[in-house]
Chain A
């Protein structure tokens, strides 16, 4: 998402006091971080708004990077790929592990054991 796109979005915002995510819930999540005592109103607003931007950014990036087979649908694997390939989203790799089929995993396990035997 380029900076210019971002600025356009800001200009388009008609009711800019409005946030589409509940600030009280955002606050709850922030408070669950260790050692967080007080959060000022500006900080809460900024975090909520940033979260909206983040959702848009993540959704669009993943969609564009789509597998190509089903470009119409944004799938879990599109997200997992975005997490791995985009530096900004790398903090998500722990919670977005790439899913593989069980039989593929077992196959690769077998191959690893074979390699061990050959040593």
Chain B
């Protein structure tokens, strides 16, 4: 080595070039920032692969709001209590789901349905939720059905002319929920329209 006391040559410093450039730096879910951003935003996190599955929580803002509405107006909630309920909620969901899933397996079924969930609640000591939930479900189903009725296929030209493929590029009814693994309501569109003799043409104007 020469007499130069300072050097920025990485090899002489005993550090490999790779280390100095940083390489990849993965933020673990244990990191506070990672957890908070995932838990507070409703959108999916871009870094999905990096969190542990047991750390999935519902957004704290939503949880806190529900808590606040449940207790008397003058009441306050400590921050660690909110975080704690967030964890309890994930625990609750897993608790119900695994019970429902087990029953499904016993009956050799692959899809967990509403009945399984209600049964699980009953079994696990939440039977006071069952009746209200049935009512909520009824209203939910009615609301979903209603939406499908309101949004028929939009037709750009009047009836009587052959409907082209273009007229079917319009929106699907808003009530359709498509997600992996769930039952999908499939609507089949035909591309031909037969004019029925004797039936008056309906004017859409």
Report A's interface with B, CB cutoff 8 A. 1-3, 6-7, 9-10, 13, 16-17, 20-22, 24-30, 32-47, 49-60, 62-63, 72-76, 78-79, 87-88, 91-92, 95-96
Chain B residue numbers with a CB within 8 Å of A36 are 97-98, 101, 112
| Cβ-defined contact, A37 with B111, below 8 A | yes
Binding site secondary structure of chain B: helix
Q: Residue among A6, A10, A47, A55 with the most chain B CB within 10 A?
A: A55
Closest 7 CB pairs between A and B? A42-B114, A17-B143, A16-B139, A56-B70, A38-B111, A59-B67, A32-B53
- Which segment, of B1-9, B17-25, B130-138, faces chain A? B130-138
Give, as a whole number of angstroms, the nearest-CB distance from A13 to chain B. Answer: 7
Q: Considering the chains assembled together, what is the distance between the CA atoms of A43 and B105 in angstroms?
A: 16
Given A36-B112, A45-B137, A46-B137, 5 additional A-B pairs, CB 8 A: A22-B42, A25-B59, A37-B110, A40-B112, A74-B71
B186 within 8 A of A: no
Chain A residue numbers with a CB within 8 Å of B59 are 22, 25
| Cβ-defined contact, B63 with A50, below 8 A | no
| Cβ-defined contact, B140 with A21, below 8 A | no
Give, as a whole number of angstroms, the nearest-CB distance from B67 to chain A. Answer: 4
Interface string of B123-147 (1 = CB under 8 A from A): 0111011011101110111011000
| Cβ-defined contact, B136 with A55, below 8 A | no
| Cβ-defined contact, B117 with A46, below 8 A | yes
Chain B residue numbers with a CB within 8 Å of A3 are 128, 131
- Which segment, of B84-92, B156-164, B193-201, faces chain A? B84-92
| Cβ-defined contact, A20 with B65, below 8 A | yes
| Cβ-defined contact, A51 with B93, below 8 A | yes
Q: Considering the chains assembled together, what is the distance between the CA atoms of A6 and B128 in angstroms?
A: 8
| Cβ-defined contact, A49 with B128, below 8 A | no
> With contacts A25-B56, A53-B133 known, is A46 near B118, CB below 8 A?
yes
B69, B94, B140: the one within 8 Å of A17 (CB): B140
Give, as a whole number of angstroms, the nearest-CB distance from B86 to chain A. Answer: 9
B113 within 8 A of A: yes
Chain A residue numbers with a CB within 8 Å of B94 are 29-30, 32-33
Q: Considering the chains assembled together, what is the distance between the CA atoms of A38 and B110 in angstroms?
A: 6
| Cβ-defined contact, B124 with A91, below 8 A | yes
> With contacts A10-B136, A58-B88, A74-B77 known, is A1 near B128, CB below 8 A?
yes
Q: Residue among B71, B93, B141 with the most chain A CB within 10 A?
A: B93
Chain A residue numbers with a CB within 8 Å of B111 are 37-40
B190 within 8 A of A: no
Q: Considering the chains assembled together, what is the distance between the CA atoms of A35 and B109 in angstroms?
A: 12
Give, as a whole number of angstroms, the nearest-CB distance from A93 to chain B. Answer: 11
Closest to A42 in B: B114
Q: Considering the chains assembled together, what is the distance between the CA atoms of A6 and B184 in angstroms?
A: 32
Give, as a whole number of angstroms, the nearest-CB distance from A25 to chain B. Answer: 6
